[in-house]
């Protein structure tokens, strides 16, 4: 199954009764495995989690760490870019040149690299003196 199809399918499982905004995310790792996640909202709003966080958690739980490709999809007028927190979460496991494809359910696409999405990212190199 393509990464785009995986993201499209997992989006259907999103728990988004408060925003009614379902998001699906799928990522591929260096091993070729695909992991996917959807947003899971909560009546205590800040406890909700984004689709990207779900996909990353599934990947980490499987013992994988190295993301090579990401797709995010939502039913929006334009491709939805990951929130700031998710950019930092993705950057933990994506090299700067990894492509993040953002899609609408209508098929519009926007492709950006991780470093374009999070320029000047805080990284492990900033902690070298510790």
In the shown chain, the binding pattern of residues 17 to 36 toward ligand THU, with x for contact by CB under 6 A and - for none, equals --x-x-x-------------
Residues ≥6 apart with Cβ < 8 Å to 16: 22, 23, 39, 41
Regarding 86 and contact with ligand THU (CB under 6 A), the answer is yes
* Nearest CA among 128, 45, 60, 47 for reference residue 90: 60
The least CB distance from residue 10 to ligand THU, in Å, is 11
From candidates 10, 34, 35, 41, binder to ligand THU by CB under 6 A: 41
Report CA 92 to chain centroid distance, whole Å. Answer: 12
Element containing residue 98 per DSSP (H, E): strand 94-104
Question: 34 or 82, CB closer to ligand THU?
Answer: 82
Size of the chain in residues: 130
The least CB distance from residue 39 to ligand THU, in Å, is 3
Residues at the interface with ligand THU (CB under 6 A): 16, 19, 21, 23, 39, 41, 48, 50-52, 72, 80, 82-83, 86
């Amino acid at each position: 199954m393509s990464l785009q199809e995986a993201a499209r399918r997992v989006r259907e499982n999103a728990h988004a009764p408060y925003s009614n905004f379902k998001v699906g995310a799928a990522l591929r790792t260096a091993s070729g495995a695909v992991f996917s996640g959807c947003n899971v909202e909560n009546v205590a709003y800040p406890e909700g989690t984004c689709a990207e966080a779900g996909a990353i958690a599934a990947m980490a739980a499987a013992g994988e760490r190295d993301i090579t490709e990401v797709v995010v999809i939502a039913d929006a007028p334009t491709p939805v870019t990951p929130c700031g927190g998710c950019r930092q979460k993705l950057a933990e496991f994506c090299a700067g040149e990894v492509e993040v494809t953002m899609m609408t359910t209508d098929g519009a696409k926007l492709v950006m690299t991780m470093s374009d999405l999070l320029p000047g990212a805080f990284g492990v190199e900033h902690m070298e003196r510790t």
